Amino acid sequence: MKNAQRHPLEKILEHRVAIIDGAMGTTIRTYGMKEADIRGERFKDATKSLLNNGDLFSLTKPETIGDIHRRFLEAGADIIETNTFGATSIAQSEFFVDDPREHGRRKDRESSVRTKIGVSVGPAGL
């Protein structure tokens, strides 16, 4: 049986290589975020430094992550990755924050662009 509607990514790949977004962690740094920015209200009482936990920006600064994704799409990305490179329980245990699986539940309600999303989970940090 022939599928009448093909996935948009298949159509792209027929003609060219699909482009995945840029370096999220590096791009976050260009926003000049400080420790208080990543903590937000939710993690204000954390006893360890959270500045290098870029995944938390999805929870405390979703508008910044949305802006970065928008910029990647405007630059020509076909696929944007979730900001979840370190969202494993092992990686998050370094910062002792709550369950990182919550990241996957965040929805960008302001986006009206149909986008292909790639989930990014980095090394276990063992």
Is residue 1 very low, low, confident or very high in pLDDT (cuts 50, 70, 90)?
very low
Specify the pTM: 0.70
pLDDT at 24 over 70: yes
pLDDT at 9 over 60: yes
**End-to-end alpha carbon distance in the chain:** 46
Asked whether residue 13 is assigned to any structural domain, the reply reads no
pLDDT at 98 over 80: no
Give which of 97, 37, 28 is closest to 65, Cα–Cα: 28
Taking only the tens place, the pLDDT of each residue in 55-89 is: 888 889 999 999 999 999 999 999 888 888 877 77
Q: What percentage of residues in the chain have a pLDDT greater than 70?
A: 73
Give which of 74, 73, 59 is closest to 116, Cα–Cα: 73
pLDDT at 32 over 70: yes
Asked whether residue 97 is assigned to any structural domain, the reply reads yes
Is residue 112 very low, low, confident or very high in pLDDT (cuts 50, 70, 90)?
very low
Q: Which amino acid is at 12?
A: I
Strand partners, 79: 20, 116
Asked whether residue 125 is assigned to any structural domain, the reply reads no
Is residue 48 very low, low, confident or very high in pLDDT (cuts 50, 70, 90)?
confident
pLDDT at 17 over 80: yes
* Residue 118 CB partners (closer than 8 Å, separation 6+): 20, 79, 80, 81, 82
Domain that holds residue 34: 20-118
Q: Are 72 and 21 in contact (CB under 8 A)?
A: yes
Asked whether residue 126 is assigned to any structural domain, the reply reads no
Asked whether residue 98 is assigned to any structural domain, the reply reads yes
Asked whether residue 1 is assigned to any structural domain, the reply reads no
- Report the greatest alpha carbon distance in the chain: 58
Provide the domain count of the chain: 1
* Residue 64 CB partners (closer than 8 Å, separation 6+): 28, 31, 33, 57
Asked whether residue 81 is assigned to any structural domain, the reply reads yes
